[in-house]
Amino acid sequence: MLYENNWESLNKRHVPAWFEDAKFGIFIHWGLYSVPSYAKPTDYAEWYGWSVLQPEHQYTRDFHNRAYGERKQYADFVADFKAELFDADEWADIFQRSGAKYMNLVSKHHDGFCMFKTDYAWNWNSYDVGPHRDFCAELSEALSKTDVRFGVYHSVYEWFHPLYLENPERYALEHLIPMLKELVEKYHPHTLFTDGEWSHPSSVWHSTEFLQWLYNESSMKDLIVPNDRWGNETRGRLGGNFTTEYGTVDGKRLLENPDGRPFEECRGIGHSFGLNRNERCEDYQTADALIWMLCDLVSKGGNLLLNVGPSADGKIPPLQEERLLQIGKWLKVNGEAIYASRKYTDNAEADLCYTKRDGKVYAMLHAYPFGERLLKAVPYAPELKATLLGDRTGAEIKIVDDNGAARLCFPPLNPMAQSSEHVFVVRLENVRGI
């Protein structure tokens, strides 16, 4: 099928199945803003270059003057962005062990600094200046040795680009779209998470024109997954997968009926995406909270894109690494309830959510299964069989009829005999109607 240069046609493209099967991805915000890595604990540190110039962000300006002096410009941080400890294979190993199936590297944030060698940002990219390295190339190569797919985030606008400030449409045609095509054809990303589109409609960005090329002509036309951030009218309505951020589409509204289209929640382990040295331990989500968040999102038909913010030297902070590895440990036991699963029901139950896969239903319990648990969404049948994933004892779970629903009766279980923690998954076989 050839797609036309309009939303009606473009929206008919199905999101490639690999994305809906993947469920869990890693976001990486890393760039010049990783040098100061500072904001209020409730703000985004990756916006440092903008915030330091805004009167309403005197908090950031005061820090900047104290730490670096009034004459230090944001662009001067390029000399301090050395990435001297960055090892692409080390990152790839962490992501593989986390259980993630794809990652999005910020190839360019709103400051315009590119994390790859590009013909369209001379002397303002990581290959020409600073560390003199092409991070898209290095990470793409490292991830090719794993089953984690390489992808990118790319800001459509730039705070200080002269052409954007003068004429946004010319900027889109002469700078943005050529760079996006270069990025796709050089690095073959499986995801394209655009952002920064909110000031103009998609017609100014020439978004449909670009997506027509992406779907019809690009080398990644059958595999790439773009998102929905293509103009100030598109989020949650038009594009590829629909995106939420900290639970909302644009900070104001919940995701409307996605009509079966996959959606993706993006958020940090803390509040910020870029590393914020001003965050403390209590500002970070626990492994328990993150794993339950993953289960809840997947049960609703979504993916979790969880962000890490490396330091300027190229290391993933140990606390963030620990969270990723804890998720990976849980997925190693319970991944069959997550990967390639689909939504089972719209009826939410307290501390309990469901998925389905290959004719089986998975009930995910956010509490250790002592005693009994009613599964309102699972019809009782004599042939039902229940298995607690990760249980080494082989104890039988009895199932009784409770007004037509299945009630699980757990025998006395020893928590020490379980290889799972945080969220406990029961595999249900022979469920009627599946």
CB atoms within 10 A of CB 169: 14
Average pLDDT for 229-255: 94
- Rounded-to-integer distance, Cα 158 and Cα 168, Å: 10
- In the numeric block, which tokens belong to residue 164? 């954007």
Per-residue pLDDT band at 418 (split at 50, 70, 90): confident
What pLDDT was estimated at residue 415?
A: 81
Lowest pLDDT segment from 43-47, 253-257, 268-272: 253-257
Question: Closest Cα to residue 389, out of 333, 325, 320, 339?
Answer: 333
Percent of the chain's residues with pLDDT above 90:
92
Lowest pLDDT segment from 152-156, 260-264, 266-270: 260-264
pLDDT above 90: residue 354? yes
Residue 400 β-bridge partners: 407
- In the numeric block, which tokens belong to residue 373? 């648990």
What pLDDT was estimated at residue 37?
A: 98
If you write DSSP's letter for every residue of 267-278 in order, what string do you get? EESSS-SS--TT
Per-residue pLDDT band at 258 (split at 50, 70, 90): low
Average pLDDT, the chain: 96
What pLDDT was estimated at residue 1?
A: 86
pLDDT above 90: residue 260? no
pLDDT above 90: residue 347? no
pLDDT above 80: residue 230? yes
pLDDT above 70: residue 378? yes
- Rounded-to-integer distance, Cα 138 and Cα 237, Å: 34
Per the model's pLDDT, the better-predicted residue between 348 and 31 turns out to be 31
pLDDT above 90: residue 394? no
What pLDDT was estimated at residue 331?
A: 98
For residue 18, CA distances in Å to 26, 102, 147, 315 come to 15, 10, 12, 29
What pLDDT was estimated at residue 186?
A: 98
What pLDDT was estimated at residue 355?
A: 98
What pLDDT was estimated at residue 10?
A: 97
- Rounded-to-integer distance, Cα 187 and Cα 262, Å: 24
What pLDDT was estimated at residue 251?
A: 87
